[in-house]
Amino acid sequence: MAGSTKHPLFGFLPRNVTAKQVQGVVEGNENPFTRLPHSPQYRKILEARKKLPVFAQMDEFYKMFTKHQIIVMVGETGSGKTTQIPQFVVYSDMPQTKNKIVACTQPRRVAAMSVAKRVADEMDVQLGRQVGYSIRFEDMTEPGTTFLKYMTDGMLLREAMNDPDLQRYSTIILDEAHERTLATDILMGLLKALVKRRKDLKIIIMSATLDALKFQKYFTIDDPAPLFKVPGRTHPVEIFYTQEPEPDYVEAAIRTVLMIHRAEEPGDILLFLTGEEEIEDACRKIKIEADDLIAQDPDTVGPLSCIPLYSSLPPQQQQRIFDPAPSPRVPGGPPGRKVVISTNIAETSLTIDGIVYVVDPGFSKQKIYNPRIRVESLLVSPISKASAQQRAGRAGRTRPGKCFRLYTEKDFMKELEEQTHPEILRSNLANTVLELVKAGIKDLVRFDYVDAPAPETLMRALELLNYLAALDDDGNLTSMGSMMSEFPLDPQMSKMLIVSPEFHCSQEILAIVAMLSVPNVWLRPNNQRKEADAAKQLLTVPDGDHLTLLNVFNEYQNNLHDRNWSWNNYLSARSLSQADNVRSQLLRIMERLEIGVVTKSYEDQTRHYMNIRKALVCGFFMQVAHKEGEKGSYITIKDNQAVSLHPSCGLDTQPEWVLFNEFVLTTRAYIRTVTDIRAEWLLELTANYYDLGSFPDGEAKLALQRVLKKQIGKNAKAAGPDRDKPLKKKPKTS
C-alpha cells in the first residue's frame, strides 16, 4: 500500500546504515536523489560496479565508517575506491538532507573532472547537479543541490583559508594522499586539528599501500586510525635488473628498447627519461638504430614507432600516444611496435593502455629548494622505491608485463629511498605560510605536519612575508597580508598587484603577473631558432623582460582576430590564452577586494614604464642583483651569489641594478626575466629591506651609500624632494 509512495531512503539512519539497506536502494527502481526511475544505462553500469573489488566490502566499510571518525584506506589501482567510496559515504551521511557536502579531493584537475563525470553517470544524475566538481576556473556545482563534490586539493585548501571549520562538509575524503602534494599535506594537518573541534566531521585518507602505516600513526586521536584495505585488480609484472650498474643510462635504455623489439613478444614499450631534450635525443637515436636493424633483418624485425611525451608538448602531439602500433610492412610480416618515451608525466598523470614493457633507468628530475639562497631548482636524481614500483605497474594494466630496471637489485634495495620526499620538504613555503596564517594557524613551527619542513625554510618564508608587510613583527597577519592571501599567487606578485594603483599601472601589472604565472610563452623549434629569435627581437622592450612580457600580452590582445598571430610570432597560443584566463581571475579578485584598477594612459611611455618598474620593485626587492666587474657578472644583494644574465634576456645594456624573477641553476647560475631598476627606488620604496645599517658589506652597499649621499646633498640644495620628476632617460647603446 505505502510501498509506491515511500521514499527509497525511508528508514535510513544517518551514519548508521547497513550494506543491506544500501544494496536494496541501489538495486531498486527509483533513484533516491531524483525520485525518477533508474535508466537502462544505470543498470548496465551497476553490473560493472558490482564487479569492483571494493563493492564486495560494502558491509565491512559501513561497520568501520559508522564507528570511527577517521579512516585510512589503501587500495591498489583498479580497486574502484575513488568512484565507489564517496558514493558509499553519501548513503551514510545523507548530506542532501542537511545541506551538507561530501568532498573528495584529487591532486589533478583532469582527475577531478573525469571522476565526477563517471560518478554522475553511475548515480544516474546530471553532472553539475547532485554530483559536481570544482577546479580553478571552473565550478561545476549547483549550490543547494550538489552534495557530492570532487575537487582539487588546492581548491579545498583555499576554502579552508576562509572557513577553517569547513562547515559545508560532512565528510572529507583525501584521495591519492600517497602523492604527498603540498596541498594534501597541509590539509592533513588542518583536518587533524579540525576533527577535535568538529566531532560531526568524518575524514577518509585514501592512499596506495606503502604509506598507510605512517598515515595511521599520524591520525592517532586515542588510537591509531583504523585501516581499510581494498585489493587491486592488476596483472603481474615480472621485474628484471641489470647485473652491473650502467654508466650511461640513456645509452643503456636505447639498447634495452631495441633488445625488447628484437626478442620479445608483441606489446608496446614505455621508457622513462628525465626531460624534453633527453627524450627527443633518444627518439632520434632509436629511430636510426631500429631502421638499421630492419635493414639487416627485414624478415624478423617489424616497424617501430617512437613517440615522445612531456607536458610542454602541444595536446595534439600528446594524443599520439594513443595511436595504435604500426602495421607490418607486408601482410603477414613481423608485427610493428610502439615505444613511448616519457617524463614522469606517464607515472601518474597519464595512463597509456596496451603497455606491456616498461624500461626504467631509475632517474627523474626533481624540484629541490635551498632555503639558504632561497632558490628552487631542478635536479636529475634517483627515484624512490615507491616510484619504481609505480613505473613497473604501468606494464600490467592490460595483461601480464615485464619491467626492465637499468640498475642492480642491490642498488634498488640499498640505495633507493622508500618514498619520494614529499613536496613540502622540497618547496619554497612563502605562499603556504601565508595560507596557514590566514587559516588561523598561529605557531607555524609547532604545527603538526605529517613531515615538518626545515625550520630555515619556515624562517625564510616568515622573513619574506614580514618584509612584504603581510605579517607584522610578531607574525600576525596584517590587512595587507589578508588581501595578499586572496590571490592564488606568490606573495611578491600579489603585493605588486595591490600596490599597482599607487603607480597608475594596475592593468599592466595584471598582465605581467598573468604572464609570469603561465608556462614559457616563447617557442623555439629546433630547426627555426634564428627565425624564432628574430621574431622575439621585434617584441622586445629594451628596458626589461617584464615590459617585454607586457608588450607580448598587449599585442596578443590586439591581434586576437588573427588566428595565426601566435604561431607566426613563435609564441605559445596555449600559454597566452592561459595568461588571459589568469588575468581575468586576478582582475575579479581585485574588484572583489575593491582595489581600484587604475591606469593613467595619458602619461608618456618612459614615465609609464618607470612606474611599472617601480611597482615591480615593491614586490621583488629581494630579488635584485648588482653589477660587479665588467663582463656582465652580477652579484645578488645580501646573499652574494655570483650570477649572469640568462641568454634569453632582452636588455640592450648591462644596467648597474637589475631585478629578476627567477634564479636558475644549470651549467651556471643565471637570473632570468630581468628588468633594469634604479638604486633610488630601492632606497625609497623598500627602505625597510635596504636599511644600510644592517646591510652586508660589499660593493652593493657602497653603491647604495653613494646614492644616499647624493640624495641628501640634492635635497639639501633644493627646497623640497623632486623624486616624482621622471629621471633622465639613459642613452641607448645598440
Partner DNA sequence: GAGCACTGC
Contacts with DNA, residue ranges (CB under 7 A): 107-110, 135-136, 152-155, 158, 181, 183, 274-277, 310-312, 343-345, 349, 364-367, 378, 431, 488-489, 517, 519-520, 522, 524, 529, 533, 646-648, 664, 666-668, 670
Identity of the residue, 631 or 728, whose beta carbon is nearer to DNA in the bound complex: 631
Smallest gap from Cβ 110 to DNA, in A, equals 6
Smallest gap from Cβ 710 to DNA, in A, equals 33
Smallest gap from Cβ 518 to DNA, in A, equals 9
Identity of the residue, 208 or 493, whose beta carbon is nearer to DNA in the bound complex: 493
Identity of the residue, 124 or 185, whose beta carbon is nearer to DNA in the bound complex: 185
User: Cell 509506491 identifies what position?
Assistant: 4
Pairing verdict, β 633-636 and 363-370: unpaired
User: Cell 637489485 identifies what position?
Assistant: 409
Smallest gap from Cβ 494 to DNA, in A, equals 10
Q: Could you tell me if 271 and 359 are in contact, meaning their C-beta atoms sit under 8 angstroms apart?
A: yes
User: Cell 622508500 identifies what position?
Assistant: 418
Identity of the residue, 296 or 666, whose beta carbon is nearer to DNA in the bound complex: 666
Q: How far apart are CA 178 and CA 691, in angstroms?
A: 45
Q: Which of 460, 593, 437, 586 is nearest to 515 (CA)?
A: 586
Question: Hey, is 234 helix, strand or coil?
Answer: coil
Identity of the residue, 21 or 274, whose beta carbon is nearer to DNA in the bound complex: 274
Smallest gap from Cβ 274 to DNA, in A, equals 7
Smallest gap from Cβ 431 to DNA, in A, equals 6
| DSSP symbols for 312-360 | TS-HHHHGGGGSPPPPPSSTTSPPPEEEEEE-THHHHT---TTEEEEEE
Smallest gap from Cβ 264 to DNA, in A, equals 27
| Cβ count near 289 (within 10 Å) | 16
Left, alpha or beta for 638 (phi > 0: left; psi -120 to 50: alpha)?
A: left
Smallest gap from Cβ 309 to DNA, in A, equals 8
Question: Hey, is 677 helix, strand or coil?
Answer: strand
What lies within 8 Å, CB to CB, of 229 at 6+ separation is 73, 74, 75
Smallest gap from Cβ 367 to DNA, in A, equals 3
Identity of the residue, 31 or 427, whose beta carbon is nearer to DNA in the bound complex: 427
Identity of the residue, 110 or 288, whose beta carbon is nearer to DNA in the bound complex: 110
Task: Give CA separation, 375 vs 384, 426, 429, 457, 666, in Å.
Answer: 23, 10, 11, 11, 12
Task: Give CA separation, 174 vs 104, 180, 229, 448, 563, in Å.
Answer: 6, 11, 16, 17, 41
Dihedral pair phi/psi, residue 693, rounded to 5° = -60, -35
Smallest gap from Cβ 116 to DNA, in A, equals 13
Pairing verdict, β 268-272 and 355-360: parallel
What lies within 8 Å, CB to CB, of 131 at 6+ separation is 116, 119, 120, 123, 125, 146, 148, 149, 150
Identity of the residue, 277 or 415, whose beta carbon is nearer to DNA in the bound complex: 277
CB burial readout 470-485, b (16+ within 10 A) else e = bbeeeeebeebbebbb
Smallest gap from Cβ 391 to DNA, in A, equals 14
Q: How far apart are CA 371 and CA 459, in angstroms?
A: 9
Smallest gap from Cβ 361 to DNA, in A, equals 14
Smallest gap from Cβ 529 to DNA, in A, equals 7
Identity of the residue, 152 or 686, whose beta carbon is nearer to DNA in the bound complex: 152
Identity of the residue, 17 or 188, whose beta carbon is nearer to DNA in the bound complex: 188
**Beta bridge mates, 205:** 72, 174
Q: How far apart are CA 48 and CA 122, in angstroms?
A: 10
User: What are the grid coordinates assigned to 174, written together?
Assistant: 583525501
Q: Which of 628, 623, 656 is nearest to 642 (CA)?
A: 628
Question: Hey, is 206 helix, strand or coil?
Answer: strand
Identity of the residue, 277 or 448, whose beta carbon is nearer to DNA in the bound complex: 277
Identity of the residue, 66 or 633, whose beta carbon is nearer to DNA in the bound complex: 633
| Cβ count near 364 (within 10 Å) | 22
Ranges assigned E (strand) in 1-108: 70-75, 101-106
Smallest gap from Cβ 501 to DNA, in A, equals 22
Q: How far apart are CA 450 and CA 618, in angstroms?
A: 35
Identity of the residue, 601 or 666, whose beta carbon is nearer to DNA in the bound complex: 666
Q: Which amino acid is at 134?
A: S
Identity of the residue, 90 or 518, whose beta carbon is nearer to DNA in the bound complex: 518
Identity of the residue, 566 or 599, whose beta carbon is nearer to DNA in the bound complex: 566
Q: Which of 260, 591, 235 is nearest to 404 (CA)?
A: 260
Smallest gap from Cβ 108 to DNA, in A, equals 4
Residue 117: enclosing H or E segment and its boundaries? helix 109-122
Residue 681: enclosing H or E segment and its boundaries? helix 679-685
